[in-house]
């Protein structure tokens, strides 16, 4: 659990209530009480023209789920902020890939977990509060941009459910490269090229670290 996430006193009790065999996680809220749970209910790796594979989030469906008196939501991916991972999952799936950095290590682990037949659920009455506001709007142009692109390329190439999705990485790479060149942002153009080259094996995780 991240040190900027504060679980409610009964959070763990709620998570283990049904003796989960897969992965369960609490619903995260901001300090102002607003739901901050953007874990994907759907993560689409089939559509070619899909700008963001995360097509539906917990935040978008939770009010309906609560009104229907449901206690859990099946989700496609879990963030590494407070999940409870069963020993059965660790025994069959192993550990998270240490070659990821900052982005998508949790998504990679979620995809591997689901491929082994385990479920991932968000437990509605298990609550935790984020002590820091999460804002990734400027991450792409910061030092984090390299890892954001590299790891996303890797996910599409390795988990895309058809060849067109797997090869969408080329469209993304060319888009950002041309955009940066035409805006004379040659520094970011280098980031785009390096992130693409390194995405085949997730190497050079120290290249752009601050």
Q: Where are the domains of the chain?
A: 5-130, 139-198
Say how far apart CA 28 and CA 85 lie, in whole Å: 17
C-alpha span between 201 and 195 (Å, rounded): 11
Neighbours of 100 (CB within 10 A): 20
pLDDT in tens, the chain (210 residues): 677 889 999 999 999 988 888 999 999 999 999 999 899 999 999 888 777 888 889 999 998 988 888 899 999 999 998 899 999 999 999 999 988 888 899 999 999 999 999 999 999 999 999 988 766 667 778 888 899 999 999 999 999 999 999 999 999 999 999 999 999 999 999 999 999 999 998 877 777 777
Q: Which residues contact 148 (CB under 8 A, 6 or more apart)?
A: 102, 103, 139, 140
C-alpha torsion angle, residues 167, 106, 100, 150 (rounded to 10): 30
Count of positions (residues) in the chain: 210
Task: Tell me which CATH code domain 5-130 carries.
Answer: 3.90.550.10
Cβ-Cβ contacts under 8 Å for 45 (sequence gap 6 or more): 53, 156, 159, 160, 161, 165
Element (H, E) at 99: none
pTM of the full structure: 0.88
């Amino acid at each position: 659990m991240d040190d900027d996430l504060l679980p409610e006193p009964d959070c763990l009790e709620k998570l283990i209530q049904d003796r989960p065999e897969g992965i369960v996680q609490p619903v995260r809220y901001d300090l102002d009480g607003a739901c901050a749970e953007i874990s994907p209910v759907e993560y689409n790796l089939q559509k070619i023209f899909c700008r963001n594979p995360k097509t539906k989030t917990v935040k978008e469906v939770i009010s309906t789920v609560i009104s229907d008196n449901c206690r859990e939501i099946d989700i496609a991916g879990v963030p590494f902020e407070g999940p409870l991972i069963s020993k059965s999952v660790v025994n069959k799936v192993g550990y998270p890939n240490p070659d990821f950095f900052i982005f998508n290590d949790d998504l990679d682990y979620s995809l591997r977990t689901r491929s082994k037949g385990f479920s991932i659920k968000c437990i509605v009455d298990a609550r935790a509060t984020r002590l820091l506001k999460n804002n990734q709007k400027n991450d792409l142009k910061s030092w984090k941009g390299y890892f954001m692109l590299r790891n996303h390329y890797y996910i599409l190439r390795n988990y895309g459910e058809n060849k067109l999705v797997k090869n969408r990485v080329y469209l993304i790479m060319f888009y950002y490269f041309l955009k940066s060149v035409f805006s004379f942002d040659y520094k970011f153009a280098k980031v785009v090229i390096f992130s693409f080259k390194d995405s085949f094996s997730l190497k050079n995780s120290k290249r752009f670290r601050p």
